């Protein structure tokens, strides 16, 4: 991959993230040639999916695939994350969100932290664009400042085109203020784990693929009774808390984990009860 200069967030960028819950306009992490190379290899990862699975089932595969591990441990990504979380943080999750051309599935309005059995809430998601993402092909949208409201109760609905069955009700936030996170391939956005966000369908003839990476400050603890397969990969600084199991560095270029990562709702756990216990 092409070596590019790391970027340190300015004080104004840090302030914007603190107030709005997201950050755009960052220099590209990967060049266009780098992204072409990553996209050329992506089919080898997708080939590991089993019958009935889709790209959204590629969760935590950085634990076994060096292809993804090298992305989540990219120092240029860590430079951005450090500007939000501080000097001590780890990576614990990653996933793919691929919207094929003319795909009508959506991602309903939600907060990431609602799905995560983790405390305290001090995490950030990096959304790396594998393709150009814009309003035409279903770019992610975010509600500025929504992270300041804390966690909002989600509802379960089967009458939705969303890939999520738990989502926020319309009217619980200012939907008309939504901002589209438009990115060029190789660019990334950052968003707070409590920020309300979602994405529309992709009626265009272009694919929209994004790779999300979750990072948390080292004082954030996962509830192993809910997510027993949780693994932390220290990215920067020291882990003086030692609250979470440490993951092993993968050696194979492409390999799937021996288990399938599941969300709180897939595990049959009521998120409301998990958060009430905190």
Angle of helix 75-85 versus helix 11-20 axis, rounded to 10: 70
Query: Could you give the C-alpha distances from 100 to 105, 110, 140, 204, in angstroms and in order?
Result: 10, 22, 14, 9
How many distinct structural domains can be found in the chain? 1
User: Is residue 35, in this structure, part of any structural domain at all?
Assistant: yes
For 183, phi then psi, to 5°, come to -135, 150
- Which range marks the domain in which residue 167 is found? 11-276
Q: Which residues contact 74 (CB under 8 A, 6 or more apart)?
A: 29
pLDDT value for 174: 75
Nearest one of 180, 179, 183 to 210, comparing CA atoms: 183
Q: Is residue 73 part of a domain?
A: yes
Could you tell me where the beta strands, DSSP code E, fall in the chain? 22-23, 89-99, 107-110, 118-119, 123-129, 141-142, 155-156, 166-167, 179-180, 188-192, 197-199, 208-217, 221-222, 233-236
φ/ψ of 118, rounded to 5, equals -130, 150
In a domain, 3, yes or no: no
Phi/psi for 81 (5° steps) reads -65, -40
Q: Is 2 part of a structural domain of the chain? A: no
Contact between 146 and 173 under an 8 Å Cβ cutoff? The reply is yes
Could you tell me if residue 5 is inside a domain? Answer: no
Dihedral sign (CA 245, 90, 23, 60): negative
CB distance 129 to 71 below 8 Å:
no
State residue 3's pLDDT score: 47
Q: Is residue 6 part of a domain?
A: no
Identify the pLDDT of residue 276. 57
* Structural domain contains residue 191: yes
- pLDDT at 162 (0 to 100): 47
The answer to pTM > 0.85 is yes
pLDDT at residue 154, rounded to an integer: 62
Averages of pLDDT over each 10 residues, the chain, 278 residues = 71 98 97 97 97 94 98 98 98 96 90 90 97 98 91 63 56 83 98 94 97 98 94 98 98 93 62 59
Q: Which CATH number belongs to the domain containing residue 93 in this structure? A: 2.60.120.620
Residue 274's SS3 state is helix
């Amino acid at each position: 991959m092409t070596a590019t200069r790391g970027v340190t967030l300015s004080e104004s960028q840090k302030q914007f993230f603190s107030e709005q819950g997201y950050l755009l306009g960052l220099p590209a992490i990967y060049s266009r040639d780098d992204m072409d190379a990553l996209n050329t290899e992506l089919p080898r990862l997708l080939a590991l999916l089993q019958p009935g699975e889709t790209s959204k089932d590629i969760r935590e595969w950085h634990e076994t695939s060096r292809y993804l591990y090298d992305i989540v441990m990219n120092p240029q990504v860590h430079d951005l994350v450090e500007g939000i979380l501080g000097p001590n943080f780890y990576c614990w999750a990653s996933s793919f969100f691929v919207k094929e051309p003319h795909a009508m599935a959506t991602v309903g309005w939600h907060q990431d932290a609602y799905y995560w059995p983790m405390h305290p809430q001090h995490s950030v998601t990096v959304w790396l664009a594998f393709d150009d993402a814009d309003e035409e092909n279903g770019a992610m949208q975010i509600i500025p400042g929504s992270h300041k409201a804390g966690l909002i109760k989600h509802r379960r609905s089967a009458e939705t085109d969303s890939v999520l069955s738990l989502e926020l009700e319309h009217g619980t936030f200012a939907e008309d203020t939504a901002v589209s996170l438009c990115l060029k391939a190789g660019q990334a956005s950052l968003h707070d784990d409590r920020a309300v966000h979602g994405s529309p369908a992709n009626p265009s003839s272009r694919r929209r693929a994004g790779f999300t990476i979750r990072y948390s400050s080292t004082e954030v603890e996962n509830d192993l009774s809910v997510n027993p397969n949780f693994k932390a990969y220290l990215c920067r600084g020291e882990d003086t808390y030692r609250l979470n199991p440490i993951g092993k560095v993968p050696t194979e270029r492409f390999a799937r984990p021996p288990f399938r990562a599941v969300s709180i709702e897939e595990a049959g756990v009521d998120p409301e009860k998990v958060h009430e216990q905190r």
